[in-house]
């Protein structure tokens, strides 16, 4: 069956339908990763978005139950140049095409994803619709795209009740992790360092966390515009004002910045991929990082009496980390749990462990 992708600027891309049939409106973003499509689809940070994979071949190693980053996929749509009909890997448990159909993800293949990515880079992230309809009215589609906005996504992706994950091996520390759209491997990075991890729903009051007897608090990644989360920002501010060590990633990094008076803004096309170079200013070293964000902290809005920029993106000099003047509080924009290299920035988890009084592994 044929399918069509229509963008908010009126551009039209035609191809073949993959995954679920029907229409889907979402924010179209691109990812430059060569692999990891299953982790991308199940990353809650993609809620409300359709993902354009710039690498031309997807699905070649299939899918399996171990690679999910959450209980279900969150991406609305997938756009690829070519979808492999079979997966060739000893871990393969099914095809990507079947996975898309099973989870009601619409998609299109046969698209010139290089041209599409260049368009999104030059004109910026924009809304789009994938449709399997043979005939459609472009004006009606453009009106739908103009009205669409990604919102309420943290409420969609966070868990409904707290969940405790025991430490792997000897338990040394207890960590409270705020779930704004947490990826499973973030939990595992703490567990393997001897932490019992209690994961809380996004809107849990700070008072409940502070009375829980934890050694530290971690703020997770998540989707959407950080400034929309007014109530959460208020609770994050209360956590910051406590004495507990804090470590925040991606959306959590942005929320803490907003809670302490800084500002954020939407980027033209964001950072999404597994090859983004980031410089640790204190160490004087550059690391290859995995990233997925469309918003960034304004460097000029950070009060130097509150925090200083600790990491920058080598490509565009945007803020990739903050070191707060308050004892034992630091944040990063990238994903240290994603390990593109494969363990490039996991040292940040070791730093968090050390800040809580645990042993430093690196």
| 116-144 confidence digits (pLDDT tens) | 999 999 999 999 999 999 899 999 999 99
The whole-number pLDDT of residue 362 equals 39
CATH domain 2-150 topology: Glucose Oxidase; domain 1 (3.50.30)
According to DSSP, residue 44 is labeled: G
CA–CA gap between residue 62 and residue 169 (Å, rounded): 32
Q: Which residues contact 55 (CB under 8 A, 6 or more apart)?
A: 32, 33, 34
Q: How far, CA to CA in Å, does 142 sit from each of 7, 26, 32, 148, 187?
A: 8, 12, 27, 10, 41
pTM, entire model: 0.95
User: Over the stretch 204-249, which tens digit does the pLDDT of each residue have?
Assistant: 999 999 999 999 999 999 999 999 999 999 999 999 999 999 999 9
The whole-number pLDDT of residue 341 equals 67
Which percentage of the chain shows pLDDT scores above 90? 95
Q: How far, CA to CA in Å, does 139 sit from each of 15, 116, 120, 320?
A: 21, 21, 21, 40
Q: Across the chain, what does the average pLDDT equal?
A: 96
Task: Please check the confidence at residue 185 and state whether its pLDDT lies above 60.
Answer: yes
158-355 classified as CATH 3.40.50.880? yes
What average pLDDT does the segment 298-305 reach? Answer: 97
Give residue 361's pLDDT band: very low, low, confident or very high (50, 70, 90).
Answer: very low
The whole-number pLDDT of residue 360 equals 53
Catalytic residue list: 250, 335, 337
The whole-number pLDDT of residue 342 equals 64
Grouping H, G, I as helix, E, B as strand and the rest as coil, residue 210 is helix
CA–CA gap between residue 172 and residue 58 (Å, rounded): 41
What average pLDDT does the segment 327-343 reach? Answer: 86
Task: Please check the confidence at residue 255 and state whether its pLDDT lies above 90.
Answer: yes
Residues of the chain with CATH 3.50.30.20: 2-150
Residues of the chain with CATH 3.40.50.880: 158-355
What average pLDDT does the segment 253-272 reach? Answer: 98
Smallest Cα–Cα separation from 272: which of 32, 28, 78? Answer: 32
């Amino acid at each position: 069956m044929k399918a069509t992708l229509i963008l908010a600027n009126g551009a039209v891309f035609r191809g073949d339908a993959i995954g679920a049939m029907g229409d889907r409106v979402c924010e179209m973003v691109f990812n430059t990763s060569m692999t990891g499509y299953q982790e991308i689809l199940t990353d809650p940070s993609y809620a409300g978005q359709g993902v354009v994979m710039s690498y031309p071949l997807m699905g070649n190693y299939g899918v399996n139950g171990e690679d999910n980053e959450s209980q279900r996929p969150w991406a609305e749509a997938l756009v690829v140049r070519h979808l492999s009909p079979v997966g060739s890997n000893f871990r393969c448990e099914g095809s990507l095409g079947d996975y898309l159909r099973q989870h009601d993800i619409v998609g299109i293949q046969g698209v010139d994803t290089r041209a599409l990515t260049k368009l999104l880079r030059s004109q910026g992230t924009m809304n789009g619709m994938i449709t399997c309809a043979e005939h459609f009215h472009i004006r009606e589609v453009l009106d739908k795209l103009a009205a669409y906005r990604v919102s309420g996504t943290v409420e969609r992706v966070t868990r409904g009740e707290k969940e405790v994950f025991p430490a792997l091996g000897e338990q040394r520390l207890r960590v409270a992790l705020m779930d704004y759209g947490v990826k499973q491997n973030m939990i595992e990075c703490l567990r393997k360092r001897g932490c019992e991890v209690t994961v809380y729903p996004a809107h849990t009051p700070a008072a409940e966390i502070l009375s829980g007897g934890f050694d530290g608090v971690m703020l997770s990644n998540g989707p959407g515009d950080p400034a929309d989360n007014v109530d959460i920002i208020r609770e994050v501010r209360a956590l910051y004002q406590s004495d507990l060590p804090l470590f925040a990633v991606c959306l959590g990094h942005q929320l803490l910045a907003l809670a302490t008076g800084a500002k954020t803004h939407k980027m033209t096309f964001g950072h999404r991929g597994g090859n983004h170079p980031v410089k640790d200013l204190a160490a004087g070293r550059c690391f290859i990082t995995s990233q997925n964000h469309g918003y960034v902290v304004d460097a000029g809005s950070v009060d130097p009496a509150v925090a200083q920029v600790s990491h920058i993106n080598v490509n565009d000099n945007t803020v990739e980390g903050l070191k707060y003047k308050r004892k034992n509080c630091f944040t990063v924009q990238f994903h240290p749990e994603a390990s593109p290299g494969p363990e490039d920035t996991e040292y940040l988890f070791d730093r968090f462990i050390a800040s809580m009084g645990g042993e430093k592994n690196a």
